[in-house]
Amino acid sequence: MPQSIHRGIKALIDEANAEIETISARDAITLIGKDDVVIVDIRDPREIERDGKIPGAFSCTRGMLEFWIDPNSPYAKPVFQEDKKFVFHCAGGMRSALAAKTAQDMGLKPVAHMGGGFAAWRDAGGPIEAWEPKKKG
């Protein structure tokens, strides 16, 4: 028997977008280098390797988000404990809407997501840097 999904991804994204702040790629470009803003890239590492990244963005895969935000988690990351604005982005704006909503529901604030994601960033002429693997040792 097939599953009966009552709230699909479209409904989840619509609900998220109704409750979170969305900023345009053009507005996000003006935030680069600001001390009180963290741009959070939730794309898969393969996407970042293939397409590049926003300079200075903090990478956090969508699957680790809740664990890295929660200060009581053994995986908590100090960046999410800072008093800053967190702007999430993904490739096209769907995963980042869900991520921003989750972060906001957890109590992280202020949060926003970049509408249109990395594609909108690229189309708006935002700077892109090549992915550099972490140095071991």
Assign 136 a pLDDT band (cuts: 50, 70, 90).
confident
Three-class secondary structure of residue 104 per DSSP: helix
For 9, the enclosing helix (H) or strand (E) is: helix 9-19
Task: Name the nearest CA neighbour of 28 among 1, 2, 55, 49.
Answer: 55
In this predicted structure, what is the pLDDT of residue 135? 74
Is the model's pLDDT at 134 over the cut of 80? no
Residue with the larger pLDDT of the pair 135 and 60: 60
For the chain, the 3-state helix, strand and coil shares in percent, each to the nearest 5, are: 40, 15, 45
In this predicted structure, what is the pLDDT of residue 2? 87
pLDDT digits (tens, 9 = 90+) for 53-95: 999 999 999 999 999 999 999 999 999 999 999 999 999 999 9
pLDDT digits (tens, 9 = 90+) for 100-125: 999 999 999 999 999 999 999 999 99
Task: Name the nearest CA neighbour of 51 among 131, 134, 132.
Answer: 131
Alpha helices for 38-123 (secondary structure H) = 45-51, 65-69, 94-106, 117-123
pTM, full prediction: 0.93
